[in-house]
Structure 1
Amino acid sequence: MDKGNHQQSDSVSMNEQPNLQQFVSELNSYSREEGDTPPAVRGAEAPIGHVLEIAGSGSRVVLDARRLMELQGNEDPALSMSGQVGSQVKMPVGNSWLIANVRTMRAFEGTTVLAHVDFLGEGKRDSSGGMSSFKRGVTRFPIPGCEVHPVTTPDLQSVFAADNRPHIEIGTVYPTDDIRGALYVDPMLGKHFAVLGSTGTGKSTSVSLILHRICEASPEGHIVMIDPHGEYSAAFKGFGEIFNVDNLQLPYWLMNFEEHCEVMLTSSGKDRQRDEDILAKCLLEARTRNKMAAEFGKVTVDSPIPYLLTDLNQIIVNEMGKLDRAGDAAPYQRLKNKLDELRTDPRFSFMFSGMMVSDTMGKFLAKMFRLPAEGRPISIVDVSGVPSEVTSTVVSVLARMVFDYAIWSRTEAQRPMLLVCEEAHRYVPKDESGGGQAVRRILERIAKEGRKYGVSLGLITQRPSDLAEGVLSQCGTIISMRLNNERDQDVVRAAMPEGARGFLDAIPALRNRECIASGEGVNIPIRVTFDTLEAEKRPASSDPSFAEMWKQTGDEEGIISRTVRRWRGHGK
């Protein structure tokens, strides 16, 4: 609901004044009748307001500000929060309690408050007034005049308690300090998830906590995480496999034709199309020179058949020698020069090493996808040391290998996989004009089709507004931490389900390590304070203290010497 509609829904027209005045009068009358009852006795049994108007997904209610003030001093934290934005209220409908979330509040007349609430679900009402068996969704709606009651901590325990489905606990539900917030593993992974939050909100630590909980619950799982800053290696050392430019050994021949073009072609416009045609012809011939090609019959430029870089180079030279005019050799020379650069530049040795021509595809998939996991189900791929020219291509190859493996292993025992992309807006940007379109296309395809083949996508980003349109909407579970940018908030507002709209105004005000979780992975939208993660499981993402660090001195000469050596040796 946009802001205009939002304001309109809370306004009161002249035609509604008599109706609203009647409710206000009833509230005042009720308060006078109960005025001699001590607040502590009245507690949760007495209503705090009445329903004014009903809509399909929510309602407007009138609340008595005096009752809300009385409850603020209650020992029960749920009762003390009654009526506040982001809290819950309940309404009796037959033998059920209907639970709603308070979205907005505004003063109306005297001690009357007009509030907009969103329906969350309903639970059974027992003879003592308690609630059990809460379920999301509404089967029966209240009618105008229905009482509105505050919820108690036992009510919230019934609402938020995890059922018997596999789940992970990540923290405590606001405003309580003992009700556990849970994410259901299968719905969350089966329909993708996103973790959003501005820099400095504790996003990386929270992601580490979620992944650690998943690994603990499924030690034989299969998780691949793309880590662009090298933050998560520290968090999973000893709990998973860590890959970087020193041990990644990504065979260049695993690239498909589109990825070859991104790495090997330097031209644009009309020249690029001609260069693509030449590369396609030469690459296909290089692949078919492998005796393996005869075994599999039809081979294409996309087939992951090993080939020698020297063969590709020789084929390019041979084709160039067949030309009638020297001027026609420019595309071949461009391609040859780039190939020479990839072969000789040590920055690319993790991918374009001469040692990668043997058929290592099976071993590479086994170690990268943790098949078998042997109690270490996660692979952290640190791409911070990968040259920026090929970073998107490396991510594209890894993501495509996850998806293609899932497709081609459909007749085997299924091994679902989770692909987690930190800084997702880098790889699936809203702007389609830049480079690195291969990774964009494969991640968009996984978002749309991955769940059919057992591939889950986890997107982590601080700038959801920079993500390609439609990708975030493919995520069934959204875990939003504090977002300071209004454009980012608007994107999250559009992606969140209707029942979570009442939490949106709280997103800019969330504390560090707090989130709003909504969608398939939770029973109803919840505000959660994340657990404190053990020190050895935290990522290396804490910001340095300028005030403290600038007090330290000594061994500057040694620091510079060692830094320059690593710089020149590319991390050695």
Structure 2
Amino acid sequence: MSLVVGEVTAVSGIKISLRIFEDSNQESIFYNGVKYRGISIREHISIQRGFIDIVCLVEGEFLDERNVDAESGRTIYTRRVDVRPIGFIVDGIFQEGVKYMPMIRDVASLLSEPAVARIYGKEGRGDFSIGVMLKEDVAVNLSWARIFNGHLGIFGNTGSGKSNTLAKLYTTLFKQKHEILKDKSSFIIVDFNGEYTEDQILPFNEKRVTILNQKKPRDKLKLSSSHFWDVETLSLLFQATTNTQQPFIRRIVNGRERFKSNPDSLKNFFLKTFERAFSSGEAKPDALELSREIARIVDSQALQNHLKEIKYIFANRSFKSNNGPWYNSDGAGFTESILPILQHIDLDYLDQFDEFLLRAYLQLCSDVVLGYAQYEHIQPVLTRAKASVTELRKVVELTGGHPPSDLLHVISLKRCKSDMKKILPLLIAKSIYAKHKDTVKSPPNKTLHLIIDEAHNILSEQSAREHEVWKDYRLELFEEIIKEGRKYGAYLTLSSQRPADISPTVVSQVHNFFIHRLVNDRDLKLLDNTISTLDTSSRALIPTLAKGCCVVTGTAFDLPMIIKVDPLIKEHRPSSDDVDLEDLWDDALI
């Protein structure tokens, strides 16, 4: 039997007004052992229309009339509320949407807490529950299959609890589904602040943790060499311009690929380039400078000493060694003095980073001699490459094949410099997404989940310190994953305290949102423009949400709801807790 608390007095569009009976103002009501919540803002009621129960959400209340009782002289106030229909119940099953509307004098009844829980999910904690509904204080079992079968966005100001929500989601997932996820899914966390390197989400010994440290190199990110020797990757790493420097890098990669079956291809290229430079009919002074740099790369002191003695003679447009031979088109000087030194240089010890630098300088030297390129146009990208290779070598290891996939792999960038924090996530995303696309079947037989904490660091459109080409490529890569990744079973989870800094294209493709407190107008406007499932009343609560509370909405949820996420125990929480100044300063005084 339902608890009747009022009746319909007005219907205008989808706005419904109710007159609430005077004896229905209690905060909580217990009836036959079942708890009901009284009528207040954001509470739920049902309106009976024949055999249909129309479920409504309370949006406002006011006192409408004031009458005086003729017999007692007591003033009577009539309480009225405005409600909005959110769905209906037929044969005990809730369906979202406005299909039926009530009529005047239809009665309104309270909904029990278990009934409200059934509207938003299965009653009770069940398999997948991360918290309770804020007002009803009842646990809701979320549809984990629908949540993780799409892109996730977890947004909130610092200290609002978003890190706990991210960790709680995946901790619950692994706790409930750990065994069935093995060999079927891979989860990679790009951790900018080192918050997940201990026992968070999974115990330390059950996951792979890679801590990248540029100051004290220890762990290294394993990257397939095939992904490194890629024109787009190299152009991205060294910020090559589109019209001149990127075609130059393409010549390097194509030349290596063309002759890779020849085990002495690099040595032959090395010898041929020096022969061109020092047997040319018209010597190029830039070629001499490049040759000296090549000698430093191969670490040949003999070659460096010999090249120091060579000077460019403007009158003859030739090279000449001090008290030595001329280097011109007859080739005698090169064959007699330089070639013997070159033949004794061993290039096999070079790693692939040094090989790229060597090939780049050899290619530029050859291009300058043949007139295919101008030194001043290409030299800036080589300068950037030298600087980047030095830092990359500290944190990246190039391997022959694809690194093995782990169920959960945490990659910490806390000890990396800011420029490397932009480059490494792109290398990670590009390599694992390309590998996943190449190996997955159709329909997908396995899934890839890339989790990016503090996503505004790499998905921002606002950075003015980077080249526009590099920024465009960075955004295009992640936009491709978020647009096309679902077909291949590849999904993104983005956590950020500034969603407005993230590309609107990326945010608009997110399927499900967990929105904690946000107060910035730009952030709130972005949510208004990109989240179609966010209703007005839920949106209005976002700036005032308490710590740990969030608005949950998206394709996996029939209706937006406000939940309070259960805090994880200290050992499993991300390392992002607030500092307790009382304990800190009291201990200091002691």
TM over 0.5: yes
Structure 1 residue 421 displacement after superposition: 1.4
1:246-285 aligned at under 5 Å gives the runs 246-251=218-223, 253=225, 254-255=227-228, 256-265=230-239, 273-285=243-255
Correspondence for 1:241: 208
Distance 1:204 1:498 in 2: 23
Match of 2:27 in 1: 72
Partner of 2:447: 416
User: Does structure 2 retain, via aligned residues, the 8 Å contact 1:54–1:142?
Assistant: no
2:65–2:78 contact (8 Å) kept in structure 1: yes
Moved over 6 A (4+): 76-80, 163-166
Give deviations 1:151-172, integer Å, cap 9, x for gaps.
Answer: 2223223323428999621111
* Shift in CA distance, 194/417, structure 1 to aligned 2, threshold 3 Å: same
Within 5 A, what are the aligned runs for 1:49-448?
49-50=7-8, 52-55=10-13, 58-64=14-20, 66-69=22-25, 71-72=26-27, 74-75=29-30, 81-110=37-66, 111-112=77-78, 115-124=81-90, 132-162=92-122, 168-177=128-137, 179-219=138-178, 220=182, 221-234=185-198, 235=200, 236=202, 237-245=204-212, 246-251=218-223, 253=225, 254-255=227-228, 256-265=230-239, 273-291=243-261, 308-322=352-366, 323-324=368-369, 328-345=374-391, 348-351=393-396, 356=398, 358-361=399-402, 364=403, 366-367=404-405, 370=406, 377-411=407-441, 414-431=445-462, 435=466, 436-448=471-483
Counterpart of 2:45 in 1: which secondary structure? strand
Give the drift of 1:60.
2.6
Mapped to 2, the partners of 1:472 and 1:169 lie a distance apart of: 25
- TM-score, with structure 1 as normaliser: 0.73
Q: Is contact 1:259–1:438 with CA below 8 Å preserved after alignment?
A: no
> 1:311, 1:65 → 2: CA distance?
83
Unmatched runs of 5 consecutive residues or more in structure 2: 67-76, 213-217, 264-349
Residue type matched to 2:452 in 1?
Answer: C
For 1:119 and 1:314, locate their aligned partners in 2 and report how far apart those are by CA, in whole Å. Answer: 70
Tell me, what secondary structure is at the counterpart of 2:129? strand
Structure-2 change in CA distance of 1:62 and 1:223 (3 Å):
same
Distance (Å, rounded) in 1 between the aligned partners of 2:262 and 2:57: 62
Instruction: Measure the CA separation in 2 of the matches of 1:74 and 1:282.
Output: 77
Moved more, 527-536 or 45-54: 45-54
Residue 145 and residue 407 in structure 1: after superposition, are their counterparts in 2 closer, same or farther (change >3 A)? farther
| 1:212 shift after superposition | 0.6
The answer as to whether partners of 1:393 and 1:439 remain within 8 angstroms in 2 is no
Q: Given the superposition, is the C-alpha separation of residues 44 and 82 from structure 1 closer, same or farther in structure 2, using an over 3 Å criterion?
A: farther
Asked if 1:47 is matched to 2:2, the reply is no
Once the two structures are TM-superposed, the CA of residue 208 in structure 1 deviates from its matched residue by: 0.5
Deviations 1:391-435 (A, max 9, x none): 222211222233323322243771112111112222222438663
Whole-angstrom distance in 2 between the partners of 1:437 and 1:250:
26
The 3 A distance-change label for structure 1 pair 247 and 360 is farther
State whether residues 191 and 474 of structure 1, in contact with CA within 8 Å, keep that contact through their aligned partners in structure 2.
Answer: no
Instruction: Provide Cα deviations, 1:170-202, integer angstroms capped at 9, x if missing partner.
Output: 11123233x322321222222322111111112
- Cα separation, 2, equivalents of 1:551 and 1:165: 41
Select between 245-254 and 159-168 the one with higher mean Cα deviation.
159-168
Between Structure 1 and Structure 2, how many residues are aligned? 470
Which among 455, 475, 489 is matched to residue 454 of structure 1? 489
- 1:120–1:136 Cα contact (<8 Å) kept: yes
Extract unaligned runs of 5+ from structure 1.
1-42, 126-131, 294-305, 371-376, 555-572
CA distance in 1, matches of 2:534, 2:417: 44
Q: Following the alignment from structure 2 to structure 1, what is the Cα–Cα distance between the partners of residues 464 and 108?
A: 53
Structure with greater proportional strand content: 2
Question: Equivalents in 2 of 1:494, 1:65: separation in Å?
Answer: 40
Identity of aligned residues (%): 16
User: How far apart are residue 207 of structure 1 and its match?
Assistant: 0.9
Describe the superposition over 1:280-320 as per-residue Cα deviations: whole angstroms up to 9, x where unpaired. 21233234443399xxxxxxxxxxxx993343333333333
- 1:488 and 2:523 are equivalent in the alignment: yes
Secondary structure at 2:244's aligned position in 1?
helix
1:523 & 1:239 partners in 2: Cα distance?
Answer: 35
Cα 1:496–1:283 change in 2 (3 A) is same
RMSD of aligned alpha carbons = 3.4
Say which SS state the counterpart of residue 122 (structure 2) adopts. coil
Distance 1:202 1:184 in 2: 21
CA distance in 2, matches of 1:400, 1:183: 31
Paired with 2:157 and 2:498, the residues of 1 have a C-alpha distance of 7
Aligned partners of 1:467, 1:63: CA distance in 2, in Å?
46
The amino acid that maps onto 1:142 is P
CA shift for structure 1 position 203: 1.3
After TM superposition, give the deviation of residue 247 of structure 1 in Å: 2.2
- State the SS of the aligned residue for 1:286: helix
Which is greater in Rg?
2
Taking structure 1 as reference, are residues 186 and 164 closer, same or farther at Cα in structure 2, changes over 3 Å only? farther
Q: Verify the 8 A CA contact 2:121 2:142 in the aligned structure 1.
A: no
Cα–Cα, structure 1 residues 68 and 212, in superposed 2: closer, same or farther, change >3 Å? same
> CA contact under 8 A between 1:102 and 1:502: conserved in structure 2?
no
Spell out the pairing of 1:520-535 with structure 2 (5 A cutoff): 520-535=555-570
Distance (Å, rounded) in 2 between the aligned partners of 1:406 and 1:252: 13
Checking the alignment, whether the CA contact within 8 Å between 2:5 and 2:21 is kept in structure 1 is: no
Q: How many angstroms apart in 2 are the aligned matches of 1:525 and 1:78?
A: 25
Question: Shift in Å at residue 490 of structure 1?
Answer: 3.0
- Alpha-carbon distance in 2 for matches of 1:165, 1:449: 34
Check the 8 A contact 1:54/1:143 in 2, yes or no. no
